[in-house]
Amino acid sequence: MALQDILDRLRAAERVAGRAEGSVRLIAVSKVQPPERVVAVLEQGHRIFGENYVQEAAGKWPVWRDRFGPVNLHMIGPLQTNKAKLALDLFDAIHTLDRPSLAQKLASLGQARGALPQLFVQVNTGEEPQKAGVLPAELTGFLRDCRAMDLLPFGLMCIPPEDKDPTPHFALLAGMAADHGLSGLSMGMSSDFETAVAHGATHIRVGSAIFGARAYP
Ligand SMILES: *Cc1c(COP(=O)(O)O)cnc(C)c1O
């Protein structure tokens, strides 16, 4: 199990960046991992996890929460509007607020419940046509619309283009968060989390470096 290695590397990256020890949250991304690998990480005491699919998470986490106690669960995959209600029952944070229809849905569900998970707006920093996220040029308007619905996002999230240097994308996201007075920055994965920490990440999302390669069914 590589959890301790990743925690050690994270603490070192915090030190190098002059950040307070423990200031960056390590989200262990457990999507499609064999249950025994996830249980092993729970048994080591880790309590922050990320999932991409609402249905899959709903099938796994209620049982593990009964067994291990409170677990901080983060939704990091695309969220369909018709799964939003189920997602609110499961997740403490949603990193993929990426369009007005989802904002509307979350706002109305939040009104009925009186509370919502922590919200991150996903920004398509690479402006890739196949990728979800608000375009950088549309972020100001989108945040204005969110606030008009009483949705107060906590931060921004990005997934840089594959096989490219992520540095400019992390810098862009950090700049946009600062411009808008948002304190959360969800960025950095197995291959680049140290760079993300250097650029101010508050939440890193690490899957395969902790659990091993994913085997998609
Ligand atoms: C799967 C996934 C991760 C984890 O990726 P690794 O490369 O395995 O660390 C992080 N973020 C998102 C949005 C993902 O879908």
> For ligand 1, atom 13, which residue shows the shortest CA distance?
76
Ligand 1 contacts CB of residue 167 (under 6 A): no
Q: Does 217 map to a domain?
A: no
pTM for this prediction: 0.97
- Ligand 1 lined by 52 (C-beta under 6 Å): yes
Task: Please indicate whether residue 206, judged by its CB atom, sits closer than 6 Å to ligand 1.
Answer: yes
Specify the CATH number for the domain of residue 171.
3.20.20.10
Instruction: Give which of 72, 57, 69, 59 is closest to 27, Cα–Cα.
Output: 72
Total domains in the fold of the chain: 1
CA neighbor of 76 nearest in space, from 103, 114, 101, 48: 48
Establish if 216 belongs to a structural domain. Answer: no
pLDDT at 215: 79
Positions of the chain with pLDDT under 70: 1, 217
pLDDT of residue 217: 64
Going by alpha carbons, the residue nearest to atom 6 of ligand 1 is 207
* Interval between CA 180 and ligand 1 midpoint (Å): 26
